[in-house]
Structure 1
Amino acid sequence: MVQLHPIDQAPPPGAPHFTEAEVAALQRAVIRLFALWDLSDQEASTLLGDISPRTFQRWKQGQTGRVGPDLAARLSNLVGIHKALRLLFKEKARGYAWIRKPNAAFGARSALDMMLGGQLTDLMRVRRYLDAQRSPW
């Protein structure tokens, strides 16, 4: 007779782990950030790993949901990009506008164009670039 055994559902090593409250805070922060960046719902969906438009609408209405490791990493990187821009630019508007300006580091593409590649690594590349720009070394 076949028996079912519980499976350990712990996140894999190195995966970001956030509490429900932290996830809700990240979701609210990213919703506000996307408004400041003037993103369309489609662009937002792409940056969030192609979540459904319906899910994104629920987020905008304040309904949080489950977040897997990939989406948690995306949220974390987006907040990290925002933080780096705030540290690099004294004027908030310049930081918000920066994501749409062509950049030689991205082959004359904007950071937004780079991130809209849709891969988590695209977000990570922009974040690493900004972190390097604010480094004193």
Structure 2
Amino acid sequence: MSEMSEDERIQLTHGILCMLDEWGISGKNQLIVLGLGDAPAREIRQLRENRPLPDTPEVMQRVEHLICIADALRTTYPFSKRMGKLWMNKPNRKFRQRTPATTMVEDGIVGLISVRSYLDCSYSWDITTSGS
């Protein structure tokens, strides 16, 4: 993200937060999903008020997974944005009867990878074959 301007980073931050809002993830849990769980509660407000996300490898890795999850949901449900929110909040056997949103909050980066792998079979195939 370092090659992005400040304005582009702010736009990316707003887009990510808007997406998490659409999925029904609370502000506190948004910070957790983004790897900022130790940040004070006011951090989410500051991010919404034109502070960009930290440009750290951990945060950017999470942002990449979130963007790919959103992309996979758009591919899976091309005619209904609402279906993505419904899917994110429906208990799923793959996630031990938890919702995908809860899985991302409770399991951190592993949860993000699990949700992304479930939705994006090419990503799942890539990570399983890259270790061979």
Report the TM-score, using the length of structure 2 for normalisation.
0.79
| Aligned equivalent of 1:4 | none
| Aligned equivalent of 2:3 | 19
Pair 113,29 (structure 1): closer, same or farther in 2 beyond 3 Å: same
Q: Which runs of 5 or more residues in structure 2 are unaligned?
A: 125-132
3-state SS, counterpart of residue 106 of structure 2: coil
Matched pairs, number: 119
Q: Which runs of 5 or more residues in structure 1 are unaligned?
A: 1-16
- Deviating above 6 A after TM superposition, structure 1's stretches of 4 or more consecutive aligned residues are none
| Aligned equivalent of 2:59 | 71
| Aligned equivalent of 1:117 | 106
Could you report, residue by residue, the CA deviation over 1:13-53 in whole angstroms, capped at 9, with x for unpaired residues? xxxx5423353333121111022112211111111111432
| Amino acid corresponding to residue 64 of structure 1 in structure 2 | P
Paired residues of 1:77 and 1:123 also in contact (CA < 8 A): yes
The CA RMSD over aligned residues, in Å, is: 2.2
Pair 110,65 (structure 1): closer, same or farther in 2 beyond 3 Å: closer
| Aligned equivalent of 1:95 | 84
- Which stretch shows the higher mean deviation, 113-122 or 86-95? 113-122
Pair 37,124 (structure 1): closer, same or farther in 2 beyond 3 Å: same
Pair 77,126 (structure 1): closer, same or farther in 2 beyond 3 Å: same
Pair 130,40 (structure 1): closer, same or farther in 2 beyond 3 Å: same
Higher alpha-carbon Rg: 1
| Aligned equivalent of 2:127 | none
Among 115, 123, 129, which residue is 2:118 paired with? 129
Are positions 1:44 and 2:33 aligned together? Answer: no
Pair 124,134 (structure 1): closer, same or farther in 2 beyond 3 Å: closer
Shift of 1:55: 2.3
| Amino acid corresponding to residue 116 of structure 1 in structure 2 | V
How far apart, in 1, do the equivalents of 2:4 and 2:97 lie? 39
